[in-house]
A and B are shown apart, each in its own frame.
Chain A
Amino acid sequence: MVNGVRSRVNTDPERPLLWVLRNELDLTGAKYGCGEGQCGACTVLIDGVAHRSCLTPVGSVTGKEITTIEGLADGERLHPLQQAFVECDAMQCGYCTPGMIMQSAGLLRRDPSPSEAEIRGELEGNICRCGTQNRIVSAVQKAAHTMGAMAKGERHA
């Protein structure tokens, strides 16, 4: 399942998930940056956990649920992380942004209210060459806050 859609690809099981997503499924949100799991630009969620798709053989994700940046928003409504990245201007060129958001999405699923240190620790493996790290941390904090408030609202409703 990719972004909620059942997807069948006939290919070498050793082929990295990144290239199957990009070249076979036309989901180019996950980016190539290094091919060795060092930059995080290719990050996607596999069963809700952030993974480097450049190091994930496609054969290993059969039957699993994959979420890419394209599948994060609810239709036209941006995910709180996406919204917060826009509001905090947490990007310059934007090439690392999908990976940053997916890594953060994995974190917030695990821990809805991480500390600043935990956010920095989580994103240590994601590179932003433009130097927006502090803005990204603010954006993740902001999104965590929004999602917390939303969850609270839902509980009260």
Chain B
Amino acid sequence: MPETVLGVPETSAARLDRRGFLKSIGGGLVVLFALESDASAQESGSAGRAAGQKLPENVAAWLHISPDGTIEVYTGKVEVGQNIRTSLTQAVADELRCSPTTVHLVMGDTARTPWDMGTFGSRTTPTMAPELRRMAATARETMIEQAGKTWAVDRSRLKVENNCVCDSSSNKKASFGDLAAKINWVNVIGKADYVTPPTEWQVAGKSLPKINAKDIVSGKHKFPSDLKVPGMLYGRVLRPPSFGAKLVSADTTAASKIPGVFVVRDGDFVGVAATDEGKAQKAVLSIDAKWETQPQISARELFPYIKKGAESTGPKTTGDGHALSATYTVAYIAHVPLEPRAAVAKFDDDKLTVWTGTQRPFGVRGELASALGMGEDRVRVIMPDTGSGYGGKHNGECAVEAAKLAKGTGKPVKLIWTREEEFTWAYLRPAGVIDVSSSANPDGALKSWNYHNYMSGPSGLPTPYDVAEKNEQFHPVKSPLREGSYRGLASTANHFARESHMDELAAAAGVDPLAFRLKNLKNERLTAVLKAATDRFGWGKEKPTSTRGFGLACGAEKGGYVACCAEVSIGSGRQLRVERVVSAWECGAIVNPEHLKSQVEGAIVMGLGGALFEAIDFANGRILNGRLSQYRVPRFSDVPQIDLVLIDRKDIPSAGAGETPIVGIAPAIANAIFGSTGLRIRSMPILPAFRAM
């Protein structure tokens, strides 16, 4: 029953004194939680503590082995479909030389896991996996030492297998549970010395299927929107008609007269909670609200606004070889996580627990604390594995609203944002304008590179190509719409502009796009993926026609290297279909090949939407296409054949793969269209511009 899902008790971590005192709990490990150094920040109730704060050094903060042998691992990272529950389990199982089925991860629970900045930036694999490996490896070595002491044998004789330490010469065996109970874990500090190198991985490096796949296919997994607590009400929130509108008055008389409906007001916040979702909807629709709106810009005015809002970019480059100037644009797009924001909020006396889908449970704890005027120590945020995020679930608005409704009604409240709310009141990937001017020598060597990104962002902005004379800048502009993180951030926009422009320059110089890139690339890893992708694709083997085009693009960011080739077919009336995509990807040592493929495939499909047709339409502070019937996302018929080449570099620490594989698809498509038709599309999404040409 859902109730039992919610009934998880706080671990000792939460019960520990905030000044970092330790308390021993029966038999197993002691969990060390707050360090002296961050205790004051934790108590201050501020919205978020500084990034890069010191994480606990003690094994016990991260790992707990019960006397019955249960292995619990605590991480503030969260699962949104990127399969880190699986990959982090693999890391721990690898170090403990045990089966991954015996390792249980507790994720994103502010009462049970060490503080974490959030799950974004492709940071889990390069930072959390080594952290957990360090802790698990230290736990393993500590248990070996304990067994050696107990049996008075040299530890070099001891082996770890099947959750036991074994002495093969004397046939002695002690379980992890027994050994862990004998160890005073308080002073066991995680050491990197014991960590297993990728060349010796046994569990990682292989395709372990998704850990909780069975729960998902059988409908048993409880996503945040699925949770239910006894006596829970269903909430709805009154929304302004446009961004920035101020509430003048709200008559809630009709709503309060509906049996089973509670109305909650807190300043400009007006919400209802009811015994069922239908009543809540009826109630919120019955509220007669007056708003003061303000005029705002519309989608058609966006790009001139962006350029006007930015400072001058200085002189353009002139070259004595081939010179080019061009402007590229990207639209606002929405994340459209299939599970909209959802939260269940529940007060127990003066303590608040909120279950919600967020990439930043600790950040949301801070948001809740400040919105409700509580100390962070009285707020617990729990993040059940959630129906995706893509960088779109950093904030806690839904959690705060649910908590306000729970406080106002005195009952637990669930709030699920409608799809329209998700489109309108979440945040968007920023739009932007990118100006590029460049030149190449007659031999095809890049000579100059002038690159200016307005508003969309600096991620992936520096060119990986070798060019002596360059000027690359990001110019921030105040966004007229609410903007935020997105898978790959501005890297998609910057790669679209750069890789399109490189193609244009190659064409101007009369050089094959692949040869042009290879000539100007010194980065070996990028060169390797470019060669791998084009080899598999058969680059240059087939000539483009007026109905078929081939394009390529490459790029690197966050320790990942990607090259992408696309084959497009073009029918009458500018019907475009991406038929085939070949992508090569390298991000160091591969942790889980099948899940890595999944990430790269998923990034390509998601990237396809922003490349071809996704764009938020807006006017005067309103989203005009905030429904799935109006905003097109990739569907089965849009998805091409995808062929991947993964390069496994066991000599390089693993980087994350959730984001950077997205950057190649849009420019590869634009370049393929150019290859076929000679038409250069310089805007994302591509299709509207292509059809208008």
Interface residues of A (CB under 8 A from B): 11-12, 15, 19, 22-23, 26-36, 38-39, 41, 68-70, 72-73, 78, 81-83, 85-87, 89, 91-98, 101, 120-121, 123-135, 137
Contacts and interface: CB of A to CB of B under 8 A. Distances in A.
Per DSSP, are chain A's interface residues mostly helix, strand or loop, or mixed?
loop
Contacts of A34: 419, 627-629
Interface of B: 1-2, 80-83, 207, 209-210, 213-214, 216-223, 225-226, 228, 234, 276-278, 335-340, 385-388, 390, 416, 418-419, 594-595, 598-599, 601-606, 627-629, 633-637, 639, 641-642
Contacts of A36: 419, 627-629
Contact of A131 (B336, B604, B628): B604
A95 B385 CA distance: 10
A31 B217 contact: no
A72 B207 CA distance: 27
Contact of B602 (A29, A92, A98): A92
B598 A89 contact: yes
A95 B1 contact: no
A28 B219 contact: yes
B388 A124 contact: no
18 contacts: A12-B278, A31-B387, A33-B339, A35-B419, A36-B628, A38-B628, A41-B338, A78-B214, A85-B213, A92-B81, A92-B599, A94-B213, A94-B385, A101-B217, A127-B635, A129-B633, A131-B605, A131-B634
Nearest to A99: B338
Nearest to B602: A131
Given A12-B278, A133-B636, A33 B628 contact: yes
Contacts of B83: 92
Contacts, number: 182
Given A69-B219, A89-B594, A92-B82, A39 B628 contact: yes
B419 A95 contact: no
Nearest to A71: B219
Contacts of B335: 129
A36 B626 CA distance: 12
A29 B219 contact: yes
Given A23-B277, A94-B81, A132 B602 contact: yes
Nearest to B226: A28
A77 to B, nearest CB: 11
A26 B1 contact: yes
Nearest to B81: A93
A129 B338 contact: yes
B655 to A, nearest CB: 19
A22 B226 contact: yes
A21 to B, nearest CB: 11
B602 A73 contact: no
A41 B220 CA distance: 15
Given A39-B628, A69-B219, A92-B81, A127 B601 contact: no
Contacts of A72: 218
Per DSSP, are chain B's interface residues mostly helix, strand or loop, or mixed?
loop
Contacts of A126: 636
B218 A133 contact: no
Contacts of B218: 29, 69-70, 72-73, 78, 82
A86 B210 CA distance: 8
Contacts of B604: 131
A95 B388 contact: yes
B332 to A, nearest CB: 17
B598 A33 contact: no
Given A33-B628, A86-B210, A94-B217, 15 more contacts: A19-B277, A29-B218, A31-B387, A34-B629, A38-B628, A78-B218, A86-B217, A89-B598, A92-B599, A93-B338, A96-B338, A101-B217, A127-B338, A129-B335, A131-B606
Contacts of A12: 278
A130 B628 CA distance: 16
Nearest to B627: A36
B209 A86 contact: yes
B121 to A, nearest CB: 18
A133 B210 contact: no
Nearest to B225: A32
B228 A26 contact: yes
A99 to B, nearest CB: 9
Given A22-B226, A36-B629, A69-B219, A137 B337 contact: no
B217 A38 contact: no
Contact of A127 (B628, B637, B642): B628
Contacts of B635: 124-125, 127, 133
Contacts of B599: 92
B598 A135 contact: yes
Contacts of A22: 226
Nearest to B215: A94
Contacts of A125: 635
Nearest to B597: A89
Nearest to B592: A89
B598 A32 contact: no
A23 B235 CA distance: 13
Contacts of A33: 338-340, 419, 628
A131 B216 CA distance: 17
B420 to A, nearest CB: 9
A91 B663 CA distance: 22
Contacts of B419: 33-36
A108 to B, nearest CB: 15
Closest 5 A-B residue pairs measured CB to CB?
A29-B219, A93-B81, A131-B605, A95-B387, A131-B602
